[in-house]
Structure 1
Amino acid sequence: MIQALLFVGLIDQAKVVFDCFPDPCVFTWTSMIAGLGQNGATVEARAAFDAMPERNVVSWTALLQAYAMIGDVALAIASFQRMPQCNLVSWTAMLTTLAQAPALDDFSWTLWIQMLGDCGLVGLAKDIYDYVGRENVVAGNAMIQAYAQNGHLEESQKIFHMMQLKNVLRTVFSWNALLVAYAQNGHARNGVILFRDMVLDGSCKPDDVSFVSILSACAHAGRVRDAVEHFTGMISDHFVQPSCEHFHCMVSVLGRAGRLVEAESLIYSMPFVPDSIAWKTLLSCCRMYNDVERAEHAAECASALDLQASSSPFVLLGNVYTEELLGGVHSGMIDDDHQSLIIE
């Protein structure tokens, strides 16, 4: 009923029907926002969006499309940046809004590069990068990321080094973009070297994202010594306080190397309450080495902390039981260069 009324432009009548719902669901709220947007009533659409008790990606996209309908690039970009997640419809709406804009600033062009990279259209992203200018550090960072997420690691490296040749002052985001690229593509050694170069360069200091990237790379490559040195160094040398994500990486590093006792001890030594991700990470590592007893404990802890997905830890635990019954051999990485991790 609401959709039909809004389709023919009867906004006031649609509001009357909407007000008859004592507790509108997300679908009803979203239908109202979408209909108001289609009629150009973006102020009312935003008011309805703000009044929603809960939102999903469809709700966010409906608001974005409302701004796209009237060509309001600034509000569309602001809404897009606040979206917790995006889908194909939201990307399309944002691209349409940017395409309709009479003139774009550097930030808007950079957003184009990011979106085209996410869609796998790196050729078009590169055309925009060349148009914006290779002296633009923000566009360069976006281009590094676009190449990396599509598997073009060499091209990411070229952009990064070209920025230096063009005397572009690389920011921490530039270094992090390539560090993330190395981590995502399994190039731990290159990541370790780049991190060292970043510290020696001195133009910017590693931040929490830098350390997540290097620790992730070390975790997947089994580089325990490098991971331990970076983890302890982030606190003592760089004064970066470790977050849950950093601890997750270290639990993975130790667990994959078969050092399950240390991995579990690290969880208990966290300066905050461990979350379910930490325990599920340990649980996955227990499967590699058929440590059933520790896996059972990890599953119980993870389930107690994550009530919304309480069954998933026990699914992983079931895999551990299966591996044990089949007599599976561990698939982890033996740590030949044992180094203890001591957190003070």
Structure 2
Amino acid sequence: MGVVLNLDEKKNQQASIQKLVDLTKADMGRVNALILSKAGSDVEMIPEVANHLISSGGKRLRPMMTLAAAAMFGYEGEGHVQLATSVEFMHTATLLHDDVVDESDLRRGKSTARMIWGNQASVLVGDFLLGQAFKMMVDVGSLDALDVLATSASVIAEGEVMQLAAAKNMETTEDEYLAVIKAKTAALFSAAAEVGPIIADASRAHRLALRSYGLNLGLAFQLIDDALDYGGTAADLGKNVGDDFREGKITMPLLLSYRRGSEDERAFWKSSIEQGNNDDEALQKAIGLMTKHGSIADTVQRARHFGEIARDALAPLPQTPQKDALIDVIDFCISRVN
């Protein structure tokens, strides 16, 4: 079920994060070991729940960004490993909390932790991981890095509440939606990229460049996720196609279709999203309306726009292998719709 998106662009068909993986391989080995160590607890359920999600096959893109951004400016200390692990724990905690709020059954193709251990355990283990993340940030000893990551944790929580307030509200504007994903998704991408130059004592200009790169990459990443929910496959998503629709989530393809639709079409969207009439037949109709109005393709175009801003943010920086790898990440994120 869904529309197959094919951008027919050679560079996107070949897009890969392999350069980033190769450059950070040694340090990611240390990050992975630290993840397993810090997820441990004498309380048996904590490592069980944490490792269920930690071991489920995520790419760990955010911690790799932290490692590459530090190396880009010649960092040679130990703090980047702890900060990268903190970033991954923050991300994992957010996913555990998200699945409870969204009542999700699948995450990365597996049953969510809440389906196995319940909502309470998922929330509390997420809180444990956040606590471990902040302990590692303190151990690094950089107040600036701590400030950036702590601020992002607060902003992410605000984004979750903003999304909850906008749930099933078809009058949400595009600007309001972008504010939600800027907080909920892009804030952690931005922080993950910015703490690298911070601990490497890079210049303010370099720090701001990585902040902008991460922020706009995060916006592009989320918009592609939005497109994939209606135009991808379950294998792409690690969840069921149309889950956003069934959960009444306001996303970019839906907003564009609603605003571009006829009066009858807008009545359909209100019935489906606000009143919960969202069975498989309604999903097929929703995808058909998105195709009619070009909503999925235009969501991808918006993602490309933010991707180009991310690319331009890095343009003035010195040429390094890490810079090339971070640019590849932009193409990879957008190419996921192929």
TM-score, normalisation: structure 1:
0.25
TM-score, normalisation: structure 2:
0.26
Q: In terms of Rg, which structure is larger?
A: 1
> Could you say which structure has the greater relative contact order, defined with CA pairs below 8 angstroms and 6 or more residues apart?
2
